[in-house]
Amino acid sequence: MSVDTGFPTSDAQNDFQRARRQRALRELGRRLRREPDDVALILPFEEVVEALGRVGERYLGLRSVPLDSIIGSVDRTREFDRSFRPASRRVRGRWERIAAAQRRGESMPPISLYRVGELHFVRDGHHRVSVARALKRIDIDAYVTEVTTRVGMNGDIRLSDLPLKSHERLFFERVPLDPERRERVRLSDRWNYAKLAEGVEAWGFRASQERRELMDRPAVARAWFDDEYAPVGQMLEEGGFVEPGETAGDAYMRVASRRYRLLRTHAWTPEILEQLRHDTTELTLP
């Protein structure tokens, strides 16, 4: 454990070395735990908003932002890791100057951030974020621009998750559910989003014929969710069809596909589920 000397320049040098050691130890721990390679990678802003589907943006002004909500960058993805520890010695000179200035009590100008949901991406101020985290600060002043997207994300999103988010976005463009309903439709396999969209569209065609009225996409989406997805999902959960590690959407896709392969029906009844329960066919999509 390092002890401050009281000399800002010397302490700033120690701060940098400590931050570099922490990154090395975190990387070693990741390898020993066999975590994915991208778990500590900083997220690239443009790739994230492209996958999520940019809708618009608005300027929020000066805000106090929790440092642990800053997980991405506009253009410095190779110089810092996801926790903004220095990933390169190239940043050392500027990093130590800022650290020394902060240790002397000098005020720092606010940084500039993009906000997506509750998470933030640095436009300007990467070194200040890194130093603030190294000095155990909790929050930082920032000029914030909020970017709205078609689909959301949570704090544990990784670079490898972006293709899944992209397919999720395309699904909700074809099946335009409101935010409350869309939160309940989650699939683990990105390719299943396209299959599910086709299934919803086919369901909508049949429903339009039965009702003798032309339903637009939002109407089909709402009716499919309320009359098909939600009640069937409850049946599957109560019947023990949702396997460990599956989402409700995963179970719906798996059982719906198996049902049609075996029984050539789109109906959902207790009798249909009972037939499926006793069948020994492998529960996988074709």
| Neighbouring C-beta atoms of residue 119, cutoff 10 Å | 20
**Structure pTM?**
0.75
Contact indicator for 134, 35 with CB cutoff of 8 Å? no
Rounded Cα distance between 52 and 164, Å, is 10
Lowest mean pLDDT among 80-94, 126-140, 151-165: 151-165
User: For residue 155, is it within any domain?
Assistant: no
What integer is the mean pLDDT of 183-189? 92
pLDDT of res. 216:
94
Q: What share of the chain in percent tops pLDDT 70? A: 91
Same domain, residue pair 201 and 128: no
Same domain, residue pair 55 and 143: yes
CATH code of the domain covering residue 91: 3.90.1530.10
Same domain, residue pair 144 and 17: yes
* Domain count within the chain: 2
Same domain, residue pair 125 and 179: no
Contact indicator for 115, 122 with CB cutoff of 8 Å? no
**pLDDT per residue over 247-282, tens digit each?**
999 999 988 877 766 555 666 767 777 777 666 444
User: For residue 156, is it within any domain?
Assistant: no
Rounded Cα distance between 190 and 182, Å, is 15
Beta-sheet strand order (sheet of 139-149) = 43-44, 70-73, 119-124, 111-116, 139-149, 54-66
SS3 content of the chain, % helix, strand, coil (to 5): 50, 15, 35
Q: Which of 110, 132, 149 is the last residue of a domain?
A: 149
User: For residue 223, is it within any domain?
Assistant: yes
Domain limits for position 67:
8-149
Same domain, residue pair 64 and 182: no
User: For residue 263, is it within any domain?
Assistant: yes
Same domain, residue pair 145 and 185: no
Three state DSSP letters for 61-104: EEEEEEHHHEEEECCCCCCECCCCCECCHHHHHHHHHHHHHHHC
Same domain, residue pair 138 and 203: no
Q: What SS3 class is residue 120?
A: strand
Same domain, residue pair 26 and 98: yes
Q: Which of 134, 149, 164 is the last residue of a domain?
A: 149
Same domain, residue pair 218 and 121: no
Same domain, residue pair 51 and 95: yes
Same domain, residue pair 16 and 143: yes
